Amino acid sequence: MTPLAQSRVGRSRKARNFAAVAWMVGAVLVAFIPLLFIIVHVVQKGLGVVLRSFPHFLNDALPLITTNAGGGIRPAIMGTLLMTGAAAAMAIPLGVMGSIYLNEYGRDGRFARILRFFAEVMSGVPSIVMGLFIYTIYTLQKGWTGFGGSLALACLMLPIVIRSSEEMLRLVPNELRQASLALGCPQWRTILSVVMPAAAPGIISGSMLAIARAAGETAPLLFTIGIVSRTNFDLFHGPNTALSQQIYTNAFAGPFPGPQERAWGSALTLIAIVMLCSVVARVVAARFTKVQQS
């Protein structure tokens, strides 16, 4: 406000303005303090566990007796990475190609609109529904497998990848496509060589966020993967475990220091992996925005 205007503002209006500003700043504090407190708590509890006789916690197998202390979470780390990786390998290509269809071919056609609606609806569905679906059609036939978990995670990632990729493709200026077509490039070459590289950072960023989300999920894995105490590299045979599942299981494993420490250590490790993916995603996206603005 200009000084001239300010001098004429009544006291009650000033007071309300102050209250509103206080609300906004207060909101930031009210949100940040507990949120950061939680993170600090997890780091504090987890770091001691992870660093104790490093790298044993990250490298050893899980103890065979859950309520005992000791052991490590390597099976869970490997499980999370393998299952999420397999899920990404299935969901990302399928989702990106689907979004290419939506944005480059279908646009506003009826089929495209139905597909878009389903993807939108599905991205809001509770993850446990995905888990139950895979349990019914896959786990009951093949038993507990890491691949069942991957399938459930892929179902979870698919709508997210489609929506974010479509968003990114839409942001690519049409002039690029027109120029390429005008120069005689067939449409498929245009999409692959012009549109995709332009949208790539955004698509990568969106995919990494989907991966981060999948890595942190517990519900889809509850009934599909069983549990193990030694690393199982075979996703198709035998049960597996994951960091999120270990956190969940150890949280219920009683008032004993062993499982509780394992839970905090797994939580810290999981947060580290998820944060890494998120940070990479945002760095890539930030560069992309700079490109858009240039």
86 binds other proteins (CB under 8 A): no
Binding-site member from 153, 191, 210, 235 for other proteins (CB under 8 A): 191
Residue 190's closest CA among 181, 201, 182? 181
CA atoms of 225 and 223, how far apart (whole Å): 6
Q: What tokens appear for 147 in the block?
A: 């691949």
CA atoms of 294 and 283, how far apart (whole Å): 17
Binding-site member from 102, 153, 168, 210 for other proteins (CB under 8 A): 102
Which residues in 217-276 contact other proteins (CB under 8 A)? 217-219, 222-223, 226-231, 233, 238-239, 244, 247-248, 251-256, 259-260, 263-264, 267, 270-271, 274-275
| CA distance readout (Å), 192 to 207, 261, 285 | 18, 49, 20
Binding-site member from 47, 89, 97, 272 for other proteins (CB under 8 A): 97
Query: Shortest gap between Cβ of 17 and other proteins (angstroms)?
Result: 4
Which residues in 202-221 contact other proteins (CB under 8 A)? 204, 209, 212-213, 215-219
| CA distance readout (Å), 180 to 103, 193, 224 | 17, 9, 47
Query: Shortest gap between Cβ of 47 and other proteins (angstroms)?
Result: 14
7 binds other proteins (CB under 8 A): no
Which residues in 108-137 contact other proteins (CB under 8 A)? 108, 111-112, 114-115, 118-122, 124-130, 132-133, 136-137
Query: Shortest gap between Cβ of 262 and other proteins (angstroms)?
Result: 11
Binding-site member from 47, 89, 113, 188 for other proteins (CB under 8 A): 188
Contact (Cβ atoms closer than 8 angstroms) between residue 241 and residue 227 = yes
DSSP secondary structure code for residue 63 in this structure: P
Binding-site member from 47, 89, 140, 272 for other proteins (CB under 8 A): 140
21 binds other proteins (CB under 8 A): yes
CA atoms of 122 and 111, how far apart (whole Å): 16
157 binds other proteins (CB under 8 A): no
Tokens 């446990």, residue located: 128
Helix axes of 146-171 and 127-134: crossing angle, nearest 10 degrees: 130
Window 25-64: contact mask with other proteins (x via CB under 8 A): xxxx-xxx-xx--xx-xx------------xx--xxx--x
Return the number of the residue (41 or 47) whose C-beta is nearest other proteins: 41
Residue 107 region by backbone torsions, left for phi larger than 0, else alpha for psi between -120 and 50, else beta: left
Contact (Cβ atoms closer than 8 angstroms) between residue 265 and residue 46 = yes
